[in-house]
Structure 1
Amino acid sequence: MAEKRFLALADVSEILNISSAQAYALVRSGELPAIQVGGRGQWRVESRLLEEYISRGYEKTAEYIRAQSAEGRPMPDGV
């Protein structure tokens, strides 16, 4: 079966392990591009754009770790 091109916010929430409200906030802030379909405020996120968002998150984390290491700061627990 082919991968879905568009994901509902419920799917995005499940993939990222966040609440629906958090997924909606990502869309509203523009951090996660989405389109609104239908007349009932249903949002869809393109699978490719979700993967790009995740990749950007990894890049930001790597930059943070490098900066902390360069300053000689210990990493917080859980990172």
Structure 2
Amino acid sequence: MTASDGDPRGLGRFLTLADTAEILNISASQAYALVRSGELPAIKVGTSGHWRIERDRLEDYIADKYEENRRRGLWHQAEFADVPELFAGRD
């Protein structure tokens, strides 16, 4: 992928932990923890076993976090709704 392919930073298909950390605005150790826990899928490459995160998996992770936050917000709204409001119009 080149910068003209929609990648303004010129990064390829696979990102380093440092790239991933920068995109998520977290530390490299936090990115490593996400990978080690399995929350963020990654692969080890090369003889030295450096972690790489596929750009599509990172985008999926971000989308999943947005969805998780959206659902959490709806849940919190429902917690504070009056019970009659939940069943309005069901006569």
Q: What TM-score, normalized to structure 1?
A: 0.86
Structure 2 residue matching 1:39: 3-state secondary structure: coil
Instruction: Output one character per residue of 1:37-67: Cα deviation in whole Å (capped at 9) or x when no partner.
Output: 1222311000000000000000000010000
Q: Given the alignment of the two structures, is residue 6 of structure 1 paired with residue 14 of structure 2, yes or no? A: yes
| Equivalent residues in 2 for 1:9-20, closer than 5 Å | 9-20=17-28
SS, match of residue 44 in structure 2:
strand
- Percent identity for Structure 1 against Structure 2: 55
RMSD of aligned Cα (Å): 1.4
- Give the match for residue 45 of structure 1: 53
Distance in 1 between the 2:45 and 2:63 partners?
A: 26
- Large movers: runs of 4+ above 3 Å: none
Do residues 69 (structure 1) and 60 (structure 2) align? no
Structure 1: where are the runs of 5+ without partners?
A: 74-79
- State the alpha-carbon separation in 2 of the partners of residues 10 and 37 from structure 1: 15
What's the TM-score, normalizing by structure 2? 0.75
Letter in 1 for 2:29: A
Relative contact order (C-alpha < 8 Å, sep 6+): which is higher? 1
How many matched pairs? 73
Residue 35 (str. 1) matches residue 43 (str. 2): yes
